[in-house]
Amino acid sequence: MPTADKILTLETLIKRRQDWKDQKVVFTNGCFDILHLGHVDYLEKAASKGDKLIVALNRDASVSKLKGPNRPVNNEHARARIVAALSFVDVVVFFSEDTPLSLIKQLIPDILVKGSDYKISNIVGADIVMENGGKVETIELVDGYSTTNIINKINQ
């Protein structure tokens, strides 16, 4: 499947989610600005927890708000295509809000995943997923890999 075909609008994804009602759907989110080993390892582990992986990607304005005025390095279209190119990612969807709470409420994933730098009690949407019979899990991160570290290394 062409990578661009894996990037869906929320409306299309809601319909797709209905088609996947008998499959275990995993949801995660992030900026994924400069894709690196830490991202690939994290997303691969997330995908292994279910049958389908949805990656919610922060829009450019959201990344700038979270990470600063010089971010993102790669625009949202480029970031989405790169994430979609990973064979274990089934869908990429954008969100503009500070958090993906609205997406989580509409999609009700079976498993919500974040990195181990989060406590489950602090994961946005965890309560919604658990109230609907789903699970919330954290994934151990690969030490030493972050977009910020890569940018700092380039700037040195």
pTM of the predicted structure, to 2 decimals: 0.94
pLDDT at 107: 98
The pLDDT assigned to 143 comes to 83
* DSSP letters spanning 35-47: --HHHHHHHHHHH
Query: What is the pLDDT at residue 59?
Result: 97
Q: Given this model, what pLDDT does residue 92 score?
A: 98
Give the dihedral sign, CA 92/95/98/100: negative
Local confidence pLDDT in tens for the 156 residues of the chain? 899 999 999 999 999 999 999 999 999 999 999 899 999 999 999 999 999 999 999 999 999 999 889 899 999 999 999 999 999 999 999 999 999 999 999 999 999 999 999 999 999 999 999 999 999 999 998 888 777 778 888 888
Q: Could you tell me if 154 and 148 are in contact, meaning their C-beta atoms sit under 8 angstroms apart?
A: no
Nearest-5° angle of CA 98, CA 79, CA 57?
A: 30
**Which pLDDT score is estimated for 149?**
78
* pLDDT at residue 12, rounded to an integer: 98
Can you say whether residue 125 is alpha, beta or left, with left for phi > 0 and alpha for psi between -120 and 50 degrees? left
